[in-house]
Amino acid sequence: MSRFRSLLQASVNATKKALTWNVEEWVPPAEKYIFKFHSKEDLKKWHLYSDSEYGGLSSASLEIPEGGNGSDGTGIFSGNLSVNISEGSQWKINRSGFCGMRSKKFDGFIDLDGYDAIALRLRGDGRCYISTIYTENWVNSPGQAEDNSWQAFVFAPKDNWYTAKIPLARYLPTWKGNVIDVEMEMNPGRVLGMSLSVNAEGGAVGAKSGAGDFRVEIDWIKALRLP
């Protein structure tokens, strides 16, 4: 009987250990890096876009300052926003004055299942920027090649480092920069990429706006589990 009890206790202990291991494997870390901006190699994962592709006159750059190619370096997204259109442009655009940086395509997905928020460590110019998450287009229009886009404003205070934490629930579905009035739910397990952009007009109340220069330093983008 004593031997039987010993075997039974050993089986119970093994089961508890297995259950504990499975729970630890299922629960993700409290935070995880999605993108870093510490080196020129990190910046190669991104490409720039602006209204200049459609006849606008805005411009942008993404770079690491000279001597900042090590772990202490941070990426600088900067440029100039113009609301003017180049003369003789063949494009008929309704508005200009925007620039952005978007992560390049890659195989697979960014899995954000188990996370509640996106965090960005920024030092800006007082403007309001737009954080975009791109997900696989299976909810809205599966037959279309475009990704689903989800956007939220992020304020970049002037001169001071700031960690902006944006709950995933705050990201709204958009189409060509406009919020669409449909009931959609983001699939955080099928994220295809991200972007950070800025417009001459719009944004949070009190934030700097209008044409002119913009500049934001970005250290990293993380996924967070909120307490």
Residue 15: φ, ψ to 5°: -65, -45
pTM of the model: 0.81
pLDDT at 144: 52
pLDDT at 105: 86
Q: Are 37 and 43 in contact (CB under 8 A)?
A: yes
Residue 4, domain member (yes or no): no
Write the burial class of residue 165 (CB in 10 Å: 0-12 exposed, 13-18 middle, 19+ buried): middle
Contacts 24+ apart (CB under 8 A), 62-71: 62/101, 64/37, 64/39, 64/40, 69/39, 69/40, 70/38, 70/39, 71/38
pLDDT at 21: 40
pLDDT at 19: 42
Residue 167, domain member (yes or no): yes
H helical segments located in 32-82: 40-43
- The whole domain housing 109 covers 31-224
pLDDT at 39: 94
* Tens of each residue's pLDDT in the chain, 227 residues: 555 455 445 454 554 444 444 444 567 789 999 999 999 999 999 999 999 988 899 999 999 987 654 445 899 999 999 998 887 676 666 678 999 999 998 888 999 999 999 999 999 999 999 999 999 875 545 445 568 899 999 999 998 999 999 999 999 999 877 888 877 889 899 999 999 999 998 877 788 999 999 999 999 999 999 88
Domain count within the chain: 1
Residue 142, domain member (yes or no): yes
Residue 148: φ, ψ to 5°: -70, 140
H helical segments located in 27-137: 40-43
Torsion of CA 109, 114, 117, 122, to 10 degrees: -60
Residue 80, domain member (yes or no): yes
Q: What is the CATH number of the domain that holds 94?
A: 2.60.120.430
Residue 99, domain member (yes or no): yes
Residue 17, domain member (yes or no): no
pLDDT at 5: 52
List the beta bridge partners of residue 151.
132, 172
Residue 100, domain member (yes or no): yes
Residue 208, domain member (yes or no): yes
